[in-house]
A and B are shown apart, each in its own frame.
Chain A
Amino acid sequence: MAKLKYRPINLGRWIVWGGTALVMIMLPLILTAGFTLTLLSQIGIGIIFALSYNMLLGQGGMLSFGHAVYAGLGAYFTVHALNLIGKGSFTIPVTLLPLVGGAAGLVFGVIFGYVTTKKSGTTFAMISLGIGEMVFSCSLMFPEFFGGEGGITTNRVIGQPFLGITYGPAIQVYYLIVAWALACMAAMFAWTQTPLGRMANAVRDNPERAEFVGYDTHMVRFLTLVLSGFFAGIAGGLTCLNYEIVTAENVGALRSAGVLFATFIGGAGFFFGPIIGSIVFYTMVTAVGTLTKAWAFYLGLLFLVMVLYAPGGFASLMVMHVPVIRARLMRRLWLPYAACVVTGMVLLTGLMSLVEIAYHYSLEANTAPEMTLFDFTFNVTDATPWTVATGLLVGGFIISRFAWKAVGRAWADIVHVMQEKGAA
């Protein structure tokens, strides 16, 4: 009698992937504000970049401070290729141009990767930093390739339109990004289910044991980095097409830090973590960036708080509630969470007020001492706004501590109940 295979998970997988694709396709049609398309394009590219970074961090256990090198060099090679196509030196359809970036990322992954993956852990992190700085320093030394201070510009509307697509309008570029993002997401997910992907996990968890089952850890790390560079290069190629300019910033430390932040905040331990992280990161940078000059400060603070108290990122915070929901114990958490939100708002208001006032003070105390915050207008040289803000901050911190303790107690209860249920 033939074995019947019951695979309910597969259907779930189709729903998740299909749903993601659907959302990415439909979003710009639903949210039509001016800046959303820019933001969505950024997020799309960011997802590819962050997922490639997580091949190193989450899958391989390698912390890199210089991942922008592969994306940036991919962007540079793409921009030069695009300019050469524009001059008629050769043709590749613009749709496939990110592959040029991918190839560049792969080649540099081979060049830099062989040396850097000889080490692991902290040393690897520092080498990656050094190589990032090295490439960035090179950018001013070779202006023919890197374009000096101004970078290299290009025009993505070249050649014959394909089925009416010229990539002139931003919406067309967005859908190109979506297509590549879905392809790369699928490819990188598939990689986690291959021998190399699994051994990367093994090397991450126990490099010694991996050696003793026959694997050269250096080789595993090296190949992981090469593949990660490939996908980063694709992200770089898309960046080139999206902005039509590539500068030294693309290989700079800030961009490397950004992808690290995004991946970590989202959660390096889950495949979809960097996806969430990219969404949060770019939304914060864009949305918060338009509201205040201190957005970088808030971002750093968020990162630091998460390293201290939620190192698994938003993904882990979400996933840890799944067993609680299944055990129908969520109702125990509503009240403590609500308390956290309320007290947190006081704390945040105090913090934000203090930060905004300080920023305004340091920048414009002499020229424009008045500012408006939360519909209150006041003078930053007076003592009152400072004391109010500090009071809110300190008071908010004190009452928040009660709320946090309540959350801790609620969780301890839940764990207790779940353990008993499990034992029963």
Chain B
Amino acid sequence: MSVAIELKGVTKSFGNTAIIRGVDLAVPRGERHAIIGPNGAGKSTLFNLISGRYAVSQGSILLNGESITGLKPFEINRRGLSRSFQVTNIFQRMSVFENIRCAVLWSLGYKYSFWHRLGGLKDANQRAEEVMESIGLKRRRDTPAGVLSYAEQRALEIGVTIAGGAEVILLDEPTAGMSRTETADAVELIRNVSQGKTLIMVEHDMGVVFDLADRISVLVYGEIIACDAPQNIRRNQAVQEAYLGTEAH
């Protein structure tokens, strides 16, 4: 069983404030891993560190055994890691189809080509259609992304994240702000697209977490206080204290 993502002693400080304090984490290939924790624990910061948006203050991050510490986001993405954002981060002026097509271009090797006609790229167009179908936005194909409803935008966000075929997927609060039915649809979508891939997910919705995750890590004040299967986490005392506080005696 090989390790897809490994964090060793990762620390991140902004000025004098340490946000992430020595995180060790190893996610095996094919696992669906959730990271939960109270607000301000540093979950998004952790994602930003893994995906290269922020630089680590200390420690190292390995992707499939190779160090990706200090690499730029596009370098990390090209090595097979892709992420979604908590605040929807898509190309607002482009249509749904164009958004997804942009996300597949590099992985299909078109790079900086200015001699290929976009309309004639069969593989890119086909892949974009497939992804669009899988996220359920086929009927909104030519709608500008900025006009979509919130849940549709979140779905598009996931679509853009997975379209490039990355093996390791990071999803940052994918169901934030969704209604119950929208969440259920999103969970199905996430389950499908993460089939056979490694998924790391930050979530607040415990229903989603316990539905999807193989293992859960709990992040509190920048440290992982527990990392175990869902049923064990549920029973873990330290986790309960962190979320609910200790009982007054």
Contact, chains A and B (beta carbon distance below 8 A): yes
Interface residues of A (CB under 8 A from B): 190-191, 193-199, 201-202, 205-206, 208-217, 219-220, 223, 227
Those of B81-119 within 8 Å (CB) of chain A: 82-83, 89-94, 98, 101-103, 105-107, 110-119
CB distance from B200 to the nearest CB of A (A): 15
Asked whether A193 and B102 contact (CB < 8 A) given A212-B83, A216-B72, the answer is no
Of B89, B93, B101, B118, which contacts A194 at CB under 8 A? B118
Can you name 22 A-B pairs with beta carbons within 8 Å? A193-B117, A194-B113, A194-B117, A195-B110, A195-B113, A195-B114, A196-B114, A197-B114, A201-B91, A201-B93, A202-B102, A209-B89, A209-B91, A210-B102, A211-B72, A212-B51, A212-B74, A212-B77, A213-B77, A213-B82, A213-B103, A216-B74
Give the residues in chain A near B110, CB-CB below 8 Å: 195
The range of chain B's interface size is: 35 or more
CB distance from B64 to the nearest CB of A (A): 17
- Binding site of A, secondary structure by majority: helix, strand, loop or mixed? helix
Q: Are B112's CB and A205's CB within 8 A?
A: no
B160 at interface (Cβ–Cβ under 8 A)? yes
With most chain A CB atoms within 10 A of its CB, the pick from B73, B77, B90, B101 is: B73
Q: Are B93's CB and A205's CB within 8 A?
A: yes
Of B101, B106, B113, B160, which contacts A209 at CB under 8 A? B160
CB distance from B78 to the nearest CB of A (A): 5
With most chain B CB atoms within 10 A of its CB, the pick from A198, A208, A217 is: A198
With most chain A CB atoms within 10 A of its CB, the pick from B72, B103, B112, B116 is: B112
The proximity string for B residues 109-135 relative to A, scoring 1 for CB distances below 8 Å and 0 otherwise, is 011111111110100000000000000
Starting from the known contacts A194-B114, A202-B94, A214-B106, 18 additional A-B residue pairs (CB-CB under 8 Å) come to A193-B118, A195-B105, A195-B110, A195-B111, A196-B113, A197-B114, A197-B118, A206-B90, A208-B73, A213-B82, A213-B102, A213-B105, A214-B77, A214-B78, A214-B105, A214-B107, A216-B74, A227-B114
With most chain A CB atoms within 10 A of its CB, the pick from B90, B91, B111 is: B91
Give the residues in chain B near A194, CB-CB below 8 Å: 113-118
B164 at interface (Cβ–Cβ under 8 A)? yes
Q: Are A202's CB and B91's CB within 8 A?
A: yes
CB distance from B142 to the nearest CB of A (A): 13
Give the residues in chain A near B103, CB-CB below 8 Å: 213
The 7 closest A-B pairs by CB, nearest first: A214-B106, A196-B114, A211-B73, A195-B110, A213-B103, A214-B77, A194-B114
Q: Are B164's CB and A205's CB within 8 A?
A: no
With most chain B CB atoms within 10 A of its CB, the pick from A195, A197, A219, A220 is: A195
CB distance from B132 to the nearest CB of A (A): 15
Asked whether A198 and B77 contact (CB < 8 A) given A205-B91, A219-B112, the answer is no
Interface residues of B (CB under 8 A from A): 51, 53, 72-74, 77-78, 82-83, 89-94, 98, 101-103, 105-107, 110-119, 121, 160, 163-164
Give the residues in chain B near A205, CB-CB below 8 Å: 91-94
CB distance from B179 to the nearest CB of A (A): 22
Task: Give complex CA distance A196, B105 in Å.
Answer: 10
Of A199, A208, A223, which contacts B89 at CB under 8 A? A208
* Nearest opposing residue in chain A for B102, CB measure: A202
Give the residues in chain A near B119, CB-CB below 8 Å: 193
* Nearest opposing residue in chain A for B106, CB measure: A214
Task: Give complex CA distance A217, B102 in Å.
Answer: 13
* Nearest opposing residue in chain A for B91, CB measure: A205
Give the residues in chain B near A193, CB-CB below 8 Å: 117-119
CB distance from B107 to the nearest CB of A (A): 7
Task: Give complex CA distance A202, B104 in Å.
Answer: 13
Task: Give complex CA distance A22, B93 in Å.
Answer: 33
Give the residues in chain A near B92, CB-CB below 8 Å: 205-206
Task: Give complex CA distance A223, B115 in Å.
Answer: 13
* Nearest opposing residue in chain A for B170, CB measure: A212
Asked whether A195 and B112 contact (CB < 8 A) given A209-B160, A211-B72, A216-B72, the answer is yes
Give the residues in chain B near A190, CB-CB below 8 Å: 117
Give the residues in chain A near B89, CB-CB below 8 Å: 206, 208-209, 212
CB distance from A224 to the nearest CB of B (A): 9
Give the residues in chain B near A195, CB-CB below 8 Å: 105, 110-114, 116, 118, 121
Q: Are A214's CB and B91's CB within 8 A?
A: no
CB distance from B103 to the nearest CB of A (A): 4
